[in-house]
Amino acid sequence: MHVIAYSVKSFEIEYLENANSMKHEIILEAKPLRIESAVLAKGADAVIIFTSDDASEPVINALADLGVKYILTRSSGTDHIDLKAAEKRGIKVANVPSYSPQAIAEQAVMLALALSRKLIDTSRLVQDYNFTIEKHVGFNFFGKTVGLIGLGSIGKATAAIFKGLGCRVISFDIDQEIEMDTIEMVSLDVLLQQSDIISLHAPLNESTRHLINQESMSQMKDGVMLINTSRGALIKSEDVLAKLEDGKIGYLGLDVYEFEKGLFFEDHSNSTSKDSLIKKLIDHKNVIITPHQGFLTREALQEIAQITMGNIDAWESEFG
């Protein structure tokens, strides 16, 4: 099968090449998928994309006109793909439903621990040869209540780590049938009201978009810690900034951002025009933002590549 992969970073190449094992003719392209770059897929049966790529209806129509039959995303989420447009044009879509959930879970807990002990600020002071400790008072996780919104494979992996730290773990999931002996399933209102730390692990859809907003945050404890390693638009960014400034949100850890497309994965250090909202968030000492790198472990990259190429193998076997 002829395949082109868009938005390929240098660290992905060896994993994709190893997973392919010369079975398919694959082009690894650093350019993102946009309407302008769709032409690069001419002659390809399948395209492989990432969350930062544009798979909106116009782009899908352009790919379909070029003869593309399959779209694979190197992610579990598919909110960057217009699935209705793909179905209308007869393009099959596959994702990576689960890959190394521990990678994302560890990123979430790492953000939480770093925030709780003011690690970033402490490190900066030490780099300036300032070894005072008066401003570094943190808190224990032992005995705290952690609320997980979403209890899929990543949520469960996150729960296991927090349980290991001695936390009480509660969870809300749209799937009311989920049961775990070590986790108390509660309503969203109860979770918001009782949690000291809230970590988001839900997919992005119409029911979860801006789930964290001014109204929902008003139910939270004063000084609550909020962590998001799932999808940026689960949080209404302007509202969370306001709640940071009035002290309702005491700590904020983000590996995703509502307006990250065109921002994350690129070097904007010399840009004269910067996203003013994320700059205001970054300026808060009780905020840590990482650029959507929760998946960035050797184990996760290997699984993503293997599952992605396995999907191509399966399609070729079934449809020729």
Rounded to whole angstroms, the Cα distance separating 47 from 66 reads: 11
DSSP-assigned states of every residue in 100-154: -HHHHHHHHHHHHHHHHTTHHHHHHHHHTT----TT------TT-EEEEE--SHH
Indicate the SS3 state at residue 274.
coil
DSSP-assigned states of every residue in 47-108: EEE-TTS-B-HHHHHHHHHTT--EEEESSS--TTB-HHHHHHTT-EEE----S-HHHHHHHH
291, burial (CB in 10 Å: exposed 0-12, middle 13-18, buried 19+): middle
Q: What is residue 286's predicted lDDT score, i.e. its pLDDT? A: 95
Element (H, E) at 180: none
Q: Please report the sign of the dihedral spanned by the C-alpha atoms of residue 44, residue 49, residue 52, residue 56.
A: positive
Q: Which residues of the chain fall below pLDDT 50? A: none
What are the tokens at 2? Answer: 């002829």
Active site residues: 231, 260, 292
Q: What is residue 319's predicted lDDT score, i.e. its pLDDT? A: 79
Rounded to whole angstroms, the Cα distance separating 40 from 33 reads: 9
**Structural domains for the chain:** 2-99+298-319 (3.40.50.720), 101-289 (3.40.50.720)
Q: What is residue 186's predicted lDDT score, i.e. its pLDDT? A: 95
| CB-based contact 49:41 (threshold 8 Å) | no
Q: What is residue 267's predicted lDDT score, i.e. its pLDDT? A: 92
Q: What is residue 177's predicted lDDT score, i.e. its pLDDT? A: 66
Rounded to whole angstroms, the Cα distance separating 44 from 60 reads: 13
Rounded to whole angstroms, the Cα distance separating 270 from 237 reads: 24
Nearest 5 degrees, angle CA 99-CA 81-CA 232?
65
List, in sequence order, every residue forming a beta bridge with 289; answer none if it has no partner.
254
Q: What is residue 320's predicted lDDT score, i.e. its pLDDT? A: 64
What φ, ψ does residue 60 adopt, rounded to 5°? -60, -40
Q: Which of 33, 32, 250, 54 is nearest to 139 (CA)?
A: 250
Indicate the SS3 state at residue 17.
helix
Q: Which of 63, 12, 16 is nearest to 311 (CA)?
A: 16
Rounded to whole angstroms, the Cα distance separating 212 from 208 reads: 9
